Every structure is written in structure tokens, then in C-alpha cells.
Amino acid sequence: MAIPTFHWEKSFDGQEYVISNNLEMISYEFIQSSLARKEVYWTGPTISPLETIKTMVVNSCTLGLYKTGDPTSPSKDKARQIGFARIITDYVTIAYLTDVFILPECQGTGLGKWLIARTREIIDSMPELRRSVLLTDQNGKGVKFYERELGMKVFNTGDNGGKVVMMRVNTSS
């Protein structure tokens, strides 16, 4: 089975946004620098080599979030990457959501909910999905956010270094 192509567009406040898994649009440098930011508390401050970032991105369903028609964009199609989310998956039975990030200056306007709604659409389209999983900060805003937007439930609050495992089970398997 070929890897499916995902592409959504949305117009908001006179600005166009795109969510896509097109690898030709991805800025590996953007992902590299984002994962080293303090807001991305689950990775630590280390800057991973670009080759490592490429391997990570190519081997998962990486959704880039882009602002289009931005004249400050360095890319030729004028799409500027402002966020991303990754689903580690076989596209059939299992989906692990990780690395959800939007630039602070672009947060708080509904783009995060849009990004998560689209990841939900991808997860829900898997033909024999057994479960979807994620980890988030036990005391952060993520628990309520993922309960509401993804239908996740807290699975385990054991000793996970302040992280909580959340899961949505689709079958008894």
C-alpha cells in the first residue's frame, strides 16, 4: 500500500493555512530548531543532527502546518512552516501521536485544534485500528485537550517521569 497523501486548507483572518504530509514542503531545519525549544519540554535542549531529523520525519506520518502566501517565507512556494505533529504508525493498526508543536506567536487561534482534528481524521481512517496512544505532561493542559479533541483516556499515571500515557482503544485486541 502506498503511503496516503494528506492535504487540507483553511482560511482564517485573511490568512491561508495548509496542513500536509508532503515531504517536499517540510522544513527539516524548522523541525530541528523547534524540537530544541524550551516549550518542547519532552525532547531536551539537544539539537539533533539534520540527518537524524530527516530519518524521524520520513519514517513517520509528519504533518506540517504552513502559513501560505507569506512574503517572508524562504521557500519558493511561499509556504512558511509554523508547526507540525507526527503520527508514528503502520497506517493499519496502531498510531502513536508525538511532537505536537505550533510557534508561540501562532498559538491560541484554533490552529492547534485544527491540527489535532486532522490527526484524528487520519487515525480514524485506519482500517483495522486497534489503539492510538500518546504521552503528555501529567499536570499540563494536554490531558484535557486530548480527552476533548481526540477522545483519549488516561491509561497509566504510574512512574513515567511526570508523563501520563493516554490511549483510545478501538477493539478488544
DSSP H or E run through 65 = strand 61-68
> Using the rule CB under 6 A, is 157 a contact of ligand COA?
no
Give start and end residues of each alpha helix (H) in 10-73: 28-35, 50-58
User: Rounded CA gap, 21 and 53, in Å?
Assistant: 15
> Using the rule CB under 6 A, is 162 a contact of ligand COA?
no
Compare residues 76 and 144 and give the one whose CB is closer to ligand COA. 144
Compare residues 12 and 92 and give the one whose CB is closer to ligand COA. 12
* Sheet (strand 153-156) strand order: 7-12, 15-20, 61-68, 80-89, 94-102, 131-137, 163-169, 153-156
Stretch that binds ligand COA, among 43-51, 124-132, 135-143, 162-170 (CB under 6 A): 135-143
Of 102, 122, 123, 166, which lies in the binding site for ligand COA, with binding defined by CB under 6 A?
102
Q: Please report, as ranges, the residues that interact with ligand COA according to CB under 6 A.
A: 39-40, 100-102, 107-113, 136, 140-142, 145
